[in-house]
Structure 1
Amino acid sequence: MFAAEHISIAGVVIALLFVAYGIFKFRGGGSRLDLLLSLAIALGVALVSVVPQIFEPVSRLLGLENRAFALLGLANLLLFALFLNLLGRVRLAGRKSGEIVTGLAVKEYTEKHLSPKERLEGHPGEILIIVPAYDEEGGIQGVLRRIPDEVLGHEVKTVVVDDGSKDATAARARAEGVPVVSHVVNRGQGDALRTGFAIAEAERSLAVVNLDADGQYKPEELDRLVGPIIEGKADFVLGSRFMGFYEEAGSVRHVGVVFFSRLISLLTGVKVSDCTNGYRAIRVSELHKMDLREDRFNANEITLEALRNRLRFHQVPVSMMTRAAGETKKPPRLAYPLGVFRVIISTWLR
């Protein structure tokens, strides 16, 4: 049998290993969330090992009057740590897969749509519109036809990122004369936008604008988004339905967006009125500063990363209409708000 002091020493050693692991991961590029979890586990292990009496109220409640409860708690903490490590490895593998898909799509684009001279010089004054699309054959042509050829004296170029669609989305976009790059599998809007951002960097455009393929945003309001960037007043311009027009005002979604916008405002100290709005413009030269990892619920991640990296932030009024065609890709019921909340907290803790 191990003496009590042996258990205490072993617990302290394990706790120190958790602290060292957390610091090592954080200095190697890990998130603040990983560091905090490692420190919390280390604290729990140390308390269970050195002062198990701190858990006596719970022990009495469960009818455990010896150190068995402390050992059980220690085992559970270790199991939880292993689970977190495995979860981190799974997410890393997912990001690596996304990088491969994005790399193939960008390679396809540069080979098909950029000449050697364009790859070298780029298009410094260009406004690049990225339209991520997944099974949007019903509405994408209507959206593409409304995008102007120029805005505020700058050439506008549109690229559709087909995120593994199973319908005729890509074919209908090409029928409009728009370049299309395709993901071999569906990766989510986050990866589609990362592909679009990589293309914008390859193009060396002035600004990249995200425009959904479902017709909820108006291409006619493009000048509002790119104006502050062209004028040198902003690096990140976010459209706000609450400053403009919202067709579903008063809905449950309305309440949820307001709640999450206030949460982000509280966490960042910057007033954000419409955190889930997908109509945004970003100065391409600032894209490299943003660490974008999420496959879904990525609107909040993009805004938080822009604010964290001190991009000059500006909001402008835009209209948000109901979907023109097709079905929403958002998850049902509580999965959507829970996903949004997870992304906000995990991004803020980086």
Structure 2
Amino acid sequence: MAKRRAFNVEEARNQLIDLLDNFVTLSSTSDLRSKVLTLIPAFRLLSEVGMSVIPNYSEYSARERILIYFRQNLLTIIDTEELMIVSGISEYPRRIRELRVQDGWPILSGQTVRSMLDAGEWEDEAIDVSRMRPDQYILLENEQDRDAAHRWGTINRIRKQNISVQDKIINYLRLNVGRHITGEELAYLANGATDWARRVRELRTEKGWPVRTKTSGRPDLPVGVYLLEEDKQAQEHDRKIDDSVRAAVLERDEFRCRKCGWNRNQKRPEDPRRLLELHHLEYHAAGGKNEEGNLITLCNVDHDVVHRDHMNKEQVFYWIGINSL
């Protein structure tokens, strides 16, 4: 196959001038089709000029050019017109879907971001998405998720089930414990229900599932990403601990387990410690309050030990090696 000649922008500019001059000459005629046929090569040439902003653009497909542009503009709101220019095609939404579904790039649409904003699930002030339009896009991470194709197959299976949106979401998250799940996945799973982000929030705040985001306990997560830390639902009484109390206890205990010192930064795949939990020193069933003075931070492993051995407050203090909080 002959090598394609390098694109010359100056030459293209001169050709466009000639084509447009020809169009102006025809503009006084009544032959509509002649006008249209005159503009076709101009349209094609403009498209090629647009694609040429990507170095060595002829070596890449439209999908690859779109990805290159996204990766060079990480966490930046991208307009549809920009994607039309760099891709050179009108079917760029399909290419974005392929990048998301087949290749695992975390690209969110403005419609998905709006659902997250409405539910209070997007609170990162560093990225102002308050005016993001439904047809705009943003790439969250400059990293590919190679399990994406398998996950989207799972999404399509769950999506068809005759259950509530909230049940679909938690079923999907439980199949992907510890994995980064984008809002786009959950929005598609909800099959048109625009309140999906609110349902996720309820799973965390009312149902006791440890679904974390950048603004709800996992500042290390990219904005727009959800993660189920453990396939374990909190006890009903633990779900009623006010966020302000929970935050105060974690800050007092320096976001570490008071027994072993573990924190989330030490999380490893082979380590059974997954999250920090608050233990009631005076058991809730025995009248213990959801108050700072009755709560202590333990990792999930040590918390299980305390309950397995039915330790009372004094035994917990002795086991940890302290006299009081």
- Shared fold, TM over 0.5: no
Report the structure number with the largest CA radius of gyration.
Answer: 2
Q: TM-score, normalised by structure 1?
A: 0.21
The structure, 1 or 2, with the larger RCO (C-alpha pairs under 8 Å, 6+ apart) is: 1
Higher helix share: 1
Q: TM-score, normalised by structure 2?
A: 0.22
